[in-house]
Each structure stands twice: as C-alpha cells, then as structure tokens.
A = this chain, B = another copy of it.
Amino acid sequence: MNDLKTFAKTDHNRYQARMKRVTIKDVAREAGVSYSAVSRAFTEGASIAPETRARIEAAAKALNYRPSLLARGLVQSRSNIVTLVCGSMADPFDALFMEALAGAMAQVGKRLMLVPASVYADDGSALLQALDDQADAAVVSAGTVSLETAELCVHAGLPVVLAGRVLDQDGIDSVVAENADGGRQAADLFLRTGCLRPAYLGQARETFSDRERGDGFCDAVRSGGQVAQRHRLDGADDAAIYQTALRILSAPDAPDAVFCATDRIAIGVIEAARALGLAIPSALSVIGFNNIPAAARRSFGLTTVDYPVDRVVTEIMMLLDRRLGEPAVRASTRRIPVGLVVRDTTRRVDA
C-alpha cells in the first residue's frame, strides 16, 4: 500500500473540470419561481401549492437536480450521518452487527459513516471525527473512548451510544449483553454436566465485555465450589487462537471445559481439540458467545450463548431516538438478555 503515500499529496483539483452542479436556483429559473419555493417543494409538509410543487418537481426531474446534502446539513447543522467507530471485521459478529445497523439507519433516512478505530491514535480521537462531520449521532463498537473525548461530545450535543461497554460519563448511553449472566449460564451447564476443570478463554487484550463474561463465569464456577482457570489469547488472528488453544489443552492441568469470549475463539478451540485427539464433548466441553452463523454449522455444532444482533441494533435505535428528542435525558445502559443454545459441544445434563 506504499503508493498511497503520494495519493493525498497529489493536487486532485488541478484539473478542476468538475461540472457545475445543478442548484436550486437553476430549478427555480426553469420553473419560474423563487428558489425558496423549490426548497419548500422538497420539504415534506411545507406550505406550497400542490400545482406549484408539481411544476417544480417536473423542472427538477428535467434538470436532474439533486439537493446538496452538504448545504442542507450546513444550514440545519444536522447531516443525517451517523458515525460508526468500528474495529476489525475478522469476527463475523462485528460484520453482521454493522450490516444490521446500516440497514436500520437507512430505514430512518440516516447513513453510516465508517471510522476504523485502528487508524486513529488510541486516545479516543476517532470519535472526534463524528464532531467534524456534524454527525447526528455516533455509535462506538470498538476502540478507546476517553472520558475527555466523551465529555467533548456530550458538551457539543452529539448523542453517543456505546456498543459492548459502558462508560461512567453522564450523557453517554450504551447497550451491552448480559455478559455476566451469559458466563453464569455457561458455568452452570459445565457444572451440571460434571465438568471438573472449567476454564475461561478471553481476548488477547481485555475488553469490557470480555471481562464481564469471564467474571460472571468464574464467579459462578466458584459458587459451585470449584475453581476456574482463566486464560487469554496470545494474539488476535485465527492462527493465534489455534496456537493458544493448543497450548492450553496440552498443558498438564488442561481444562475439560472451556468457555470462550466469542464463537470465533471457541471454533479455534474445537479445532485444536480435534488435532489433539480430544473427544468433544466427552473429553472436552466448549461453549462460545454470540451465536454466529458458523456456530450452527454441522462441522462445529457449537453450544453457545446467543446474543441477538437485531435486538442490539433495535436498542441502539431506541436510545438514539430518545436522546435526539430529549438531549438532556439521563444516560442509560440497556442490557440485552442472552440465552444458551445447546448443541453438540457440551454433554447432556443428566435428568
């Protein structure tokens, strides 16, 4: 990607041969009205005679007129853009979340602007992009968001909703899974199916959800009178997942049941177990989190904690709706209930 270095430096305006845009004035002239009339013709419920509107619409169509969202955004100080600060798409869950969110936004006439957290300094500055864009709102599903940045957004009246973490800052809504409960459910199943050495396997870098899941799991295991190992990935990609799983499963005190922070990790564990000749679920039980489509594949049949992405998106939309209507409303964090879907990587519970 070295050729990109020259990209920004090239003066792309040298050949400023860009066509002049068809503006509201052109339409006005064509239709023989003032240009405020044209504006009104395109605003639903504005005070304009049906016949005039028809004439204007005809003129607009003839000229291929399209309103400039930039100009509109400028004067309304609202852009109909929602900024999504997102991370890697390597986990299918994240991709599906983004798709669902984009769809929901489109339904309410807003569009999603992508900001990859990875290309910004890890100081929460990615979120500031939303401010620059005059975004109507921001959704953060990855990356750091500092209290300072958050404060800035709140102060600027930018609604921010966090997905997958909560921040102790007034004015910042968030929606997260009932992570601890999910962990508890996983632990319960392990205990009830007679697992003796349960373990938790979390992300390489601890995240909010990751910690909650691990805590919920380990606490529940402890309540059951056992102790849980707690591990962490050596890296973020599939190979690292596999290697970590191999290491854990071939250790002297290898677990006989592992609860993973995500389905993607769980699948790596399944593959490592198979490579080691460990029978699933008799010798090793595995539970994931998210219930991504791959978990349901026959190749894996992964028992997992279902985290319904549509519910997440719906909650986000509701929080946004509420805060857009009433900006000063107290911040709230919505907890999405999760539920075990039992497949083939856990043993039957004895009746």
Contact = CB atoms under 8 A, between A and B. Distances in A.
Given A12-B324, A274-B298, A324-B10, A157 B18 contact: yes
A215 B104 CA distance: 37
Nearest to A313: B1
A299 B300 CA distance: 9
A247 interface: no
A351 interface: no
Contacts of A275: 298
A236 interface: no
Chain A interface size band reads: 35 or more
A156 interface: yes
Contacts of A19: 155-157
A74 interface: yes
Contacts of A317: 1, 3-4, 7
Contacts of A324: 10, 12
Interface in A74-114: 74, 77-79, 81, 84, 88-90, 92, 94-96, 98-99, 102-104, 106-109, 111-114
Contacts of A237: 293
B77 A18 contact: yes
A113 B113 contact: yes
A238 interface: yes
Interface string A237-257: 110001000000000000000
A298 B310 contact: no
Given A1-B104, A3-B321, 8 more contacts: A7-B321, A13-B78, A15-B327, A18-B77, A68-B74, A68-B132, A106-B119, A112-B114
Interface of A: 1, 3-4, 6-8, 10-15, 17-19, 21, 64, 66-71, 73-74, 77-79, 81, 84, 88-90, 92, 94-96, 98-99, 102-104, 106-109, 111-116, 118-119, 128-129, 131-134, 152, 155-157, 237-238, 242, 267, 270-271, 274-275, 293-294, 296-300, 310, 313-314, 317-318, 321, 324-328
24 contacts: A3-B318, A4-B104, A8-B108, A10-B324, A19-B156, A66-B131, A66-B132, A69-B132, A70-B70, A70-B134, A74-B74, A81-B113, A89-B98, A99-B116, A102-B116, A106-B119, A107-B119, A111-B114, A112-B113, A114-B114, A237-B293, A238-B296, A274-B299, A299-B300
